[in-house]
Amino acid sequence: MSDTTIFALASGGARAGVAVLRLSGPGAADALAALTPGKAVPAARRAALRDLCDPRSGEILDQGLVLCFPGPGSFTGEDVVELHLHGGPAVVEGVLAALGRIPGLRPAEAGEFTRRAFLNGRLDLTQAEAIADLVAAETSEQRRQALDQAAGALGQIYEGWRARLIAAIAHVEAGIDFADEDLPKDIDRAARDALAVLAGEISAHLDDGRRGERLRAGVHLALLGRPNAGKSTLLNLLAGRDAAIVSETAGTTRDVIEVHLDLGGVPVIVADTAGLRDSTDAVEREGVRRAAARAEGADLKLIVLDRADWPDVPDDLRALAADGRALVLVNKADLAPVDAPGDLDGAPVLVLSARTGAGVEAFIARLTETVRGLALAGAGAAPGPTRARHRHALEEARAALTQALDGWSNRGPELVAEDLRLAARAIGRITGRVDVEDLLDVIFADFCIGK
């Protein structure tokens, strides 16, 4: 438990009807008493209306609701006080300044409330990360994933795995300590089989197509095609606003423009890239280079073709469609009829007119379905990793576990136990159960003040 008491504005910085200041630490209740002279500190978890005064001058700074959450049952595990003030800058600044003059109090650092909650055992690291994700969530599916994780869904999986590893370590170590007593062979086989099952579970969990990470960070789409194919027009249609410049002159989309969309609850980042063609203009060439690079890293490519390029699709564009991560759009269907296409080297082909809107609804429906498939696991599926940090630790655990299984009967129990310990430690790092000091700064650096 910390002996300092921290305070911060927990609500956002914007002018608002209500602002919430939060205090946590042993001096929280005394600080409240100092701001509300002559008044008793309210009962636990009961709101009370109070004048809040500057302890030095006695001047009333605001009237608001105050709440006490005594530790250890509070968010941080410490004594917590919340002040619900009028959310104007002068009120907030005045109360923050008054708090800063109370001995033993200091402004909180970024993420410090959640960090204290972790250090006091109120939540594990996956839950702490989920709180940051929940605050950052922009779409309904992101919110769902973060809430699930905040409730411990992911942490429980990892803790369950770690418990099974620890049980196996105990078994193997029993074999070391009591070698002469000949542990029954079938027990040994059962332990090994159980670990093989665990290795399979970890592999299946890792093999989720990075859906959890994609949902957290956004599905990346690249709009690709010749200049004037209609990419910008299409992007504007998707975005419902004039995000990219639409022009009659070829090659005006020189840089990469990003538009953030919510498609079926999944965050999508669409990059409109420069037209793919040979160009003598150095700036446009740079744009084309970036377009190609963008396409490499994209989760899905939208290849926009002018109907004149269908069905004889130029080779470079056709090559982009070939890797199974593309939708082909034959645009400008208003100018002349387009033969009913099926697919292009396995990539679905849709016909539309960005100008008249014909076929656009079907395209958006298809795109939404594809994007949801990339970012969401099926209904009822167990949650997957949501950060590269989880993935790396799990891969390390799986490698150590595989080594233990491979060497089970010939490497000797000491080495097998050591491999299992490595695996358990790697998984323990995800939830923060072991050697995490160096990790904490990295994780809590993502937070802003007041969380």
241: contact with ligand GDP by CB under 6 A: no
CB-based contacts of 254: which residues, under 8 Å, 6+ apart? 274, 283, 284, 286, 287
In the bound state with ligand GDP, the residue whose beta carbon lies nearer, of 86 and 277, is 277
In the bound state with ligand GDP, the residue whose beta carbon lies nearer, of 205 and 254, is 254
Give, for 61, the enclosing helix (H) or strand (E): strand 60-69
Quickly list H helices, 350-432: 360-375, 388-406, 413-431
232: contact with ligand GDP by CB under 6 A: yes
230: contact with ligand GDP by CB under 6 A: yes
Task: Name the amino acid, one letter, at 450.
Answer: G
120: contact with ligand GDP by CB under 6 A: no
In the bound state with ligand GDP, the residue whose beta carbon lies nearer, of 223 and 266, is 223
Give Rg (Cα) of the chain: 29
140: contact with ligand GDP by CB under 6 A: no
Give exposure, 437-450, as e/b (b: 16+ Cβ within 10 Å): eeebeebbeebebb
In the bound state with ligand GDP, the residue whose beta carbon lies nearer, of 190 and 335, is 335
CB of 347 to ligand GDP, least distance (A): 18
Token pair listed for 67? 């709440």
405: contact with ligand GDP by CB under 6 A: no
CA torsion angle 160 163 164 169 (round to 10): 160
71: contact with ligand GDP by CB under 6 A: no
CB of 292 to ligand GDP, least distance (A): 15
36: contact with ligand GDP by CB under 6 A: no
Q: With beta carbons less than 8 A apart as the criterion, state whether 407 and 422 touch.
A: no
279: contact with ligand GDP by CB under 6 A: no
142: contact with ligand GDP by CB under 6 A: no
* The one among 63, 140, 247, 409 contacting ligand GDP by CB under 6 A: 247
Q: Say what angle helices 185-206 and 388-406 make with each other, to 10 degrees.
A: 150
287: contact with ligand GDP by CB under 6 A: no
225: contact with ligand GDP by CB under 6 A: yes
301: contact with ligand GDP by CB under 6 A: no
CB of 105 to ligand GDP, least distance (A): 56
| Of 98, 152, 164, the residue nearest 123 (C-alpha) | 152
Site for ligand GDP in 250-269 (CB under 6 A): 253
229: contact with ligand GDP by CB under 6 A: yes
127: contact with ligand GDP by CB under 6 A: no
* The one among 279, 331, 386, 403 contacting ligand GDP by CB under 6 A: 331
CB of 342 to ligand GDP, least distance (A): 21
Give exposure, 387-412, as e/b (b: 16+ Cβ within 10 Å): bebbbebbebbbebbbbbbeebeeee
**Mask for 341-360, x = binds ligand GDP (CB under 6 A):** ------------xxx-----
Long-range contacts of the stretch 403-410 (C-beta < 8 A, 24+) = 404/195, 405/192, 405/195, 405/196, 405/199, 408/192
Three-class secondary structure of residue 356 per DSSP: coil
φ, ψ of residue 272 to 5 degrees: the values are -90, 120
130: contact with ligand GDP by CB under 6 A: no
User: Which residues sit at the interface with ligand GDP, rule CB under 6 A?
Assistant: 225, 227-233, 246-248, 253, 275, 331-332, 334-335, 353-355
